[in-house]
């Protein structure tokens, strides 16, 4: 009887091990179409800020090649619309690289209807890797920490491969949205990862495909991120030389805090890019719930519920604060689509001088452009 039980257990384990190792590639066909919904100003030798709001779904992250194909199609659309040049700064949204954590996983991950189920499938199909990640996890949300940690090396490689090659192929400066990685840095032109805390970071690539500066850490993680993402520091905000001007990057919520604009002002920033992600379908029109993740700045007198989420973005983030930095132009770009049960919202905004414009909202991938 004991031998029989032992044989059954061995058979079950072998079956599970075989299932866990299989990573069949699906034949999901993504929509590569996009449209230019906002084009402000006239073509100029000074260049332009081009925001790309991709419409992304779970299956787009099945492989780095699949994601790159979709993003390249958007850039090709911009090229056909004469929106790309040597002084173009392309901006992708926050967390566009973060979901590379799902690349190369089993079909159950992409077919899951909610993020928690997707994470569980990833854990079940990578037991040893998750165990190692769990032991070195440092955040309160140990499962999320472990999953990002176990994929960190591959994620960093894929992120640089995708966005560095796109910058080189299309000859532009490219703000590669953001990605969650453990203590990342650039060494000899290569994005590396360490063993420390996880950070939400953005990296900028030059037209030669090489990184400009260091990974920019998000200074103000929101509540849903704080369980596994550590805050950066305002003093480490960078201003990078680009063909279009001196560029600063504020990741999403960082664009709501006056101290960040003051720091960029000391480095004579000229352009500000804001990669953003606002979860929840139609959240833009819902009541604003107040500052998320950190204390309300002293210069804000508005109370939660007094205006909509979208109105708060217009008054308290880049459009309402750009002038305090000394910069003359900026752009905010939102991640759109339906990734598991997260939803998405935000039309995208361009700011020139003392005025701003919102892009037309709606379904599909959208390109928003500001001539400098």
Question: Does a structural domain hold residue 154?
Answer: yes
| pLDDT for residue 8 | 35
How large is the average pLDDT for residues 123-134?
Answer: 91
DSSP tag of 115: H
- Residue 23: inside a domain, yes or no? no
What's the CA gap between 336 and 277, in Å, rounded? 8
Average confidence (pLDDT) over 124-131: 91
Is residue 22, in this structure, part of any structural domain at all?
no
Q: How many domains are there within the chain?
A: 1
SS3 sequence of 216-257 = EECCCCCCCCCCCECCCCHHHCCEEEECCEEEEECCHHHHHC
pLDDT digits (tens, 9 = 90+) for 284-318: 999 999 999 999 999 999 999 999 999 999 999 99
Q: How many CB atoms lie within 10 A of CB 289?
A: 11
Q: Quick count: other Cβ atoms within 10 Å of Cβ 332? A: 32
Position 2 in a domain? no
Kindly calculate the radius of gyration of the chain based on its CA atoms and give it in whole angstroms: 21
The answer to the question of residue 48 being in a domain is yes
Range with lowest mean pLDDT among 97-101, 177-181, 196-200, 353-357: 353-357
3-state secondary structure of 62: coil
Confidence of residue 227 (pLDDT cuts 50, 70, 90): very high
The boundaries of the domain holding residue 86 are 28-371
**Is 18 among the domain residues?**
no
Instruction: Report the first-to-last Cα separation within the chain, whole angstroms.
Output: 79
**H-helix or E-strand containing 78?**
helix 64-80
Give the model's pLDDT for residue 20.
Answer: 46
pLDDT at 15: 40
d(CA 265, CA 259): 10
Mean pLDDT of all residues in 249-257: 98
Each residue's pLDDT tens digit, 317-334:
999 999 999 999 999 999
Dihedrals φ, ψ of 66, to 5°?
Answer: -65, -40
Residue 362 has a pLDDT of 83
In the beta sheet, which residues pair with residue 52?
A: 367
What pTM, to 2 d.p., does this model score? 0.92
pLDDT at residue number 151: 96
Question: Which 3 state secondary structure label does DSSP give 279?
Answer: coil
Q: What's the residue count for the chain?
A: 372
pLDDT tens by residue, 206-222: 999 999 999 999 999 99
Q: What is the pLDDT of residue 29?
A: 59
The pLDDT confidence band at residue 363, using thresholds 50, 70 and 90, is: confident
Token pair 């034949």 is at which residue? Answer: 27
Q: Which two tokens stand for residue 109?
A: 């991950």
Q: What share of the chain is helix, strand, coil (3-state, %, to 5)?
A: 35, 25, 40
Q: How many CB atoms lie within 10 A of CB 44?
A: 12
Q: What is the pLDDT of residues 12-36, one digit of tens each?
A: 333 444 434 554 555 555 788 999 9
What pLDDT is stored for residue 354 in this prediction? 81
CATH number at residue 130: 3.60.110.10
Task: Please indicate, yes or no, if residue 188 is contained in any of the structural domains.
Answer: yes
- Residue 2 CB neighbours (<10 A): 6
Within-domain flag for 95 = yes
């Amino acid at each position: 009887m004991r031998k029989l039980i032992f044989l059954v257990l061995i058979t079950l384990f072998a079956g599970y091990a075989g299932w866990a190792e299989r990573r069949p590639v699906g034949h999901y066909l993504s929509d590569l179409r996009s449209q230019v919904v906002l084009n402000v100003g006239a073509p100029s030798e000074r260049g332009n800020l081009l925001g790309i709001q991709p419409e992304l779904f779970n299956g787009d992250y099945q492989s780095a090649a699949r994601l790159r194909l979709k993003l390249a199609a958007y850039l090709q659309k911009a090229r056909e619309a004469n929106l790309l040049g040597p002084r173009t700064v392309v901006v992708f949204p926050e967390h566009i690289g973060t979901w590379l954590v799902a690349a190369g996983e089993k079909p159950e991950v992409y077919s899951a209807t909610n993020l928690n189920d997707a994470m569980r499938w990833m854990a079940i199909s990578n037991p040893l890797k998750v165990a190692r990640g769990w032991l070195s996890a440092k955040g309160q949300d140990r499962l999320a920490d472990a999953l990002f940690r176990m994929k960190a090396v591959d994620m960093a490689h894929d992120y640089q491969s995708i966005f560095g090659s796109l910058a080189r192929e299309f000859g532009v400066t490219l703000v590669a949205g953001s990605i969650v990685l453990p203590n990342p840095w650039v060494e000899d032109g290569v994005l590396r990862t360490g063993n420390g805390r996880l950070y939400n970071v953005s990296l900028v690539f030059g037209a030669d495909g090489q990184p400009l500066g260091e990974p920019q850490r998000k200074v103000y993680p929101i509540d849903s991120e704080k369980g596994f993402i550590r805050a950066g520091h305002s003093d480490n905000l960078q201003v990078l030389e680009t063909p279009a001007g001196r560029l600063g990057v504020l990741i999403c919520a960082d664009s709501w805090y006056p101290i960040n604009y003051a720091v960029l002002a000391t480095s004579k920033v000229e352009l500000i890019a804001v990669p953003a992600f606002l979860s929840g379908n139609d959240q833009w029109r819902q009541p604003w719930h107040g500052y998320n993740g950190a204390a309300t700045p002293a210069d804000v007198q508005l109370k939660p519920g007094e205006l909509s989420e979208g109105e708060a973005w217009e008054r308290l983030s880049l459009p309402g604060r750009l002038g305090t930095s000394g910069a003359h132009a900026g752009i905010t770009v939102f991640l759109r689509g339906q990734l598991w049960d997260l939803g998405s919202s935000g039309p995208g905004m361009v700011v020139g001088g003392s005025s701003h414009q919102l892009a037309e909202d709606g379904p599909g991938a959208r390109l928003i452009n500001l001539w400098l």
